[in-house]
C-alpha cells in the first residue's frame, strides 16, 4: 500500500470570510468554491484552489470553520485563535484496504470511514502515529478537481 497524491491541506479558521480574502488577495488563489456546512463533522467548509504551473492545478486548501462549540475544530481554534494548519489529506484507491493497512502497522485510526467534504469516504490517523501531523486518508474521488460538484449544504 502506498499513499496517492496530496489532495488538500486542511486549515482551521475562526472566519471563512477572512480566510477567503487572505487566500484570494495575498496568496493568489484562483478559485474559491461555494462554502457549505458539513454537520456530521461539525464544520463549515470551503475549498480554495491555489495556482498551479504549466496548466496544472495547484493543491487545494480546505478551509474549515467550527459550526459551534461541539465542533471538533472548536478546541483547535481555542488553542490557536488565529487558526492554522489542521491536517493533510492523501488519496488512496481503496479506503477499507488503507484502513486495514494503517491498523496493521499499529497506527491509531480515528473512527470508521465516513463521507468527507468531497463526497468520498475518509478517515483520520492520529498525529502521534504520523510524525506529528493529523492525516486524513480519502478514497480517490471519481471526478477530478475542476469538474467536481462540491455540495452546498
Residue 62 annotated among the catalytic residues of the structure: no
The three cell numbers of residue 106 are 499499529
DSSP-assigned beta bridge partners for residue 135 = 88, 125
Size of the chain, expressed as the number of residues it contains: 153
Taking the C-alpha atoms of residue 141 and residue 43, their distance in angstroms, rounded to an integer, is 21
Find the catalytic residue in 62, 65, 91, 136. Answer: 136
The three cell numbers of residue 114 are 465516513
For residue 124, the SS3 value is strand
Residue 58 phi, psi dihedral angles, 5° rounding: -80, -175
Active site residues: 136
Amino acid at each position: 500500500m502506498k499513499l496517492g497524491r496530496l489532495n488538500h491541506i486542511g486549515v482551521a479558521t475562526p472566519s471563512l470570510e477572512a480566510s477567503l480574502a487572505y487566500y484570494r488577495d495575498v496568496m493568489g488563489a484562483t478559485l474559491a468554491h461555494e462554502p457549505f456546512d458539513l454537520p456530521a463533522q461539525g464544520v463549515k467548509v470551503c475549498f480554495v484552489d491555489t495556482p498551479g504551473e504549466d496548466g496544472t492545478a495547484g493543491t487545494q486548501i480546505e478551509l474549515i470553520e467550527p459550526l459551534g462549540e461541539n465542533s471538533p475544530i472548536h478546541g483547535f481554534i481555542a488553542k490557536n485563535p488565529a487558526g492554522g494548519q489542521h491536517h493533510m489529506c492523501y488519496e488512496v484507491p481503496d479506503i477499507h484496504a488503507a484502513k486495514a493497512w494503517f491498523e496493521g502497522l499499529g497506527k491509531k485510526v480515528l473512527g470508521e470511514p465516513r463521507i468527507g467534504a468531497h463526497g468520498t469516504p475518509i478517515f483520520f490517523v492520529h498525529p502521534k502515529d504520523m510524525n506529528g501531523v493529523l492525516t486524513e486518508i480519502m478514497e480517490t474521488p471519481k471526478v477530478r478537481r475542476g469538474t467536481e460538484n462540491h455540495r452546498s449544504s
